[in-house]
Structure 1
Amino acid sequence: MKIVVDSGVDLNMTPETMSEMGIHQVPLSVTFKGKTYREGVDIDRVQFYSMLSENSEFPVTSQPSPGLIAETYKAIASKDPDILSIHMSSGLSGTYDAARVAAGLVPNAKITHFDTKTLSVASGWQAIAAARAVKVGQPIEQVLSIMKRIGDATDTLFTLKELRYLIHGGRISHIKGLMASLLNIKPIIGVEKVHGKYVQMGQARTFNNAIENLVSLVTGRYPAGTKLRAQIVYAQNPDGADMLKNALDKISKCDWMPKFTISLVLGAHTGPSVVGLAFAPDATLREVDLS
């Protein structure tokens, strides 16, 4: 069995490591200043965020077409008909639905689809665990159970300095977004687990206070002393990422995974200042780590 993910599932892996783990990635696209780029193919994240910070125009993202996904399925099915297709939340992207349509174009493949109901590294944790489980010969039912357990245990929170990207992308109400923008509000946003959509978890008047409030949400979720597995992503705000890590280290005990730059198709909707955190009880993740 091989694994297919979309580029909204953040893995922080080299192409060589992905190949070793049997993971294939289908790129989402972003159109900026009249030109369309496929993530990881025509443009990398550093290039994109540099362009984003230097221009006032808004990028437009698009999911891969069923035909493009089907091409990936066909190439894999020519060697292995069993495919597990793992995608960022259907509540935030149409990629999962496009993948299901694509499966109908490849009748010789046996494709199982999985909606992570989240995004970025929280989705990536599920995909990596699935690939490890497949590698050691776990049956598909067990693989799906492992991903669900990780999804149930993992939370995602992020904050940012400006709202105009979220407003433009329709991810928050224009009216609420406009009022918050006028008030210079910095939101703390999470991803709920039922439909996999954004929910506002809090707000602050300054970015520093937003980081503090985000940390308070983490520590309010688990009792003092709970060891957490945590990972930070950011767009073009490494200082904000360091601030978040330092603030959480003062209060919680974390097993940190490496910080890295968030998928550009996700950052296109949040802007260059975004900082995000995925976290879960370390004990739960160790149970299904399979490393």
Structure 2
Amino acid sequence: MSEFAIMTDTCSNLPDEVIDTYDLQILPLRFMVDGETYQSYLKGQTSNLQRFYTMMRDGKVITTTLPSLEFAKDLSTEILESGKDLLYIGFSSALSGTFQAIALLLDQLKESYPERSIYYVDSLCASGGQGLLVRSACELRGEGRSIEEVRAWCEQHKRNVIHWFTVDDLKYLVRGGRVSRTAGFAGQMLNIKPVLNVTDAGALAPQIKVRGRKKSMQTMIDEFKKSAWQPLAEQHVIISHGDCIEDAQKLATMLSEQCGVHDCLIGYVDPVIGAHSGPGTLTLFYYGTSRAYPTLNNNTNSMNE
């Protein structure tokens, strides 16, 4: 069985210690501030994410773009030249063009390296949800699974990665078209904190409207209790935050006290996702039974109504 590398992009929001532990290969997406382009990750360098979110709070308009295809080609070629096969697990194609661009590149490399196995998985996940799937892939590789087996597992279980998140300021969702301007204005006036999820198609969907931060956090815990794989206490959970570490730690404490969860990885939402969700974003990711929530569709209203 051939040795293989696992490659993902910075939207997986995995901290350096996880990247280093599993020898992950990372494609950095890029963001622009005041005409300057920055990489969202540089190997061996620590990103100052507090500074990034401070710029957002100060009103800097930040835009995002795909990873450098030249960098992606060089990194992929280096892996293949080393004699390893390659599995790429990418950011949801419903939220970015990154996956399609890298998949096309890898298809071209298949022609140059016919002796190598090259696979890719559209995770249909975002942020720590993508990170959770990637970490599972790394653990399976560590157990001795083949690249084909790991790819098949990811394809089978990617829609079992459940995403819940809330934001502190609706203006970023309004700017990205996730919430209408009218609903955003009303929500700000009434202190509405939407709780959103990611659908089976990998798209972002506002699902629940609650008032206040505490209620939005408890709502995420309540949904975890309903949909997480049992037993709850054995869940491997990821919490990502947009420079609101105290809220992230509080959410982890709530999970511990209410559900017995102790394996909780806390990290930042990276700049490319954070540019669209804003400071104060708080997220919860875990494995569950289904992303479909018929009770939400029956009992709540869309933020765009």
By the TM > 0.5 criterion, same fold? yes
Q: Which letter does structure 2 place at the counterpart of 1:204?
A: V
Aligned to 2:206: 200
Moved over 6 A (4+): none
CA deviation after TM superposition for structure 1 residue 70, in Å: 1.6
| SS in structure 1 of the partner of residue 265 of structure 2 | coil
Q: Which of these residues, 110, 113, 116, is aligned with residue 123 of structure 2?
A: 116
Q: What is aligned with 2:249?
A: 242
63, 66, 71: which one aligns with 2:66: 63
Whole-angstrom distance in 2 between the partners of 1:19 and 1:184: 41
What amino acid is the match of 2:56?
L
Is 1:99 aligned with 2:117? no
Aligned residue number for residue 49 of structure 2:
45
Q: Residues 80 and 180 (structure 1 numbering): CA distance in 2 closer, same or farther, change over 3 Å?
A: farther
Checking the alignment, whether the CA contact within 8 Å between 2:240 and 2:269 is kept in structure 1 is yes
* 1:33 lines up with 2:40 in the alignment: no
Structure-2 change in CA distance of 1:250 and 1:7 (3 Å): same
Whether 1:274 and 2:275 are equivalent positions in the alignment is no
Residue number in structure 1 paired with 2:223: 217
Aligned-pair RMSD on alpha carbons?
2.5
| Aligned pairs for 1:275-290 within 5 A | 275-280=282-287
- Deviation digits for residues 11-61 of structure 1 (CA, Å, limit 9, x no counterpart): 2233xx6356342101001111222110123854233123223x1122111
1:258 matched to 2:259? The reply is no
> What pairs up with 1:163-174 in 2 under 5 angstroms?
163-174=170-181
Quick one: distance in 1 between partners of 2:131 and 2:90? 9
The reply to whether residue 154 of structure 1 matches residue 161 of structure 2 is: yes
Cα 1:177–1:4 shift into 2, 3 Å: same
Report the CA distance shift for 1:19/1:209 in structure 2 as closer, same or farther (over 3 A): closer
Q: Which runs of 5+ in 1 are unaligned?
A: 282-291
Q: For residues 25 and 228 of structure 2, what CA distance do their matches in structure 1 show?
A: 35
Aligned-residue offset at 1:124: 1.3
The 3-state SS of whatever aligns with 1:196 is coil
Counterpart of 1:24?
25
Q: CA deviation at 1:235?
A: 1.4
CA contact (8 A) 1:67 1:102 kept: no
Comparing 109-118 and 17-26, the one that deviates more: 17-26
Contact 2:124–2:159 at 8 Å: present in 1 too? no
- Offset from partner CA, 1:138-166 (integer Å, 9 cap, x none): 22331023223542332111112111112
Identity fraction in percent: 23
Q: Given residue 54 of structure 2, which amino acid in structure 1 is its aligned partner? A: S
2: distance between equivalents of 1:267 and 1:223? 28
Query: For residues 215 and 135 of structure 2, what CA distance do their matches in structure 1 show?
Result: 33
Aligned pair partner of 2:197 in 182, 186, 190: 190
1:133 equivalent in alignment to 2:140:
yes
- Superposition TM-score, scaled by structure 1 size: 0.85
Cα distance in 2 for partners of 1:22, 1:62 equals: 25
Supply the distance in 2 between the matched residues of 1:222 and 1:19 (Cα, whole angstroms). 28
User: Is the Cα–Cα contact under 8 Å of residues 166 and 283 in structure 2 kept in the other structure?
Assistant: yes
Q: Does 2:6 correspond to 1:3?
A: yes
CA distance in 2, matches of 1:270, 1:98: 23
CA deviations over 1:235-282 (Å, ceiling 9, x no partner):
11112112322333332121322312122211111111011111236x
TM-score, normalization by structure 2:
0.82
Question: What amino acid is aligned across from residue 219 of structure 2 in structure 1?
Answer: N
Alignment deviations for residues 159-211 of structure 1 (CA, whole Å, 9 cap, x no partner): 12111112212333444434433433110011112x10111221212111211
Aligned residues: 278
1:222, distance to aligned residue in structure 2 (A): 5.1
2: CA distance, partners of 1:223 / 1:233: 20
Q: Which moves more between the two structures, 212-221 or 27-36?
A: 212-221
The gaps in structure 2 that reach 5 residues or longer are 289-305
In the alignment, does 2:86 pair up with 1:83? Answer: yes
Change (3 A) 1:238 1:112: same
* Residues 18/238 of structure 1: CA separation in 2 closer, same or farther (3 Å cut): closer
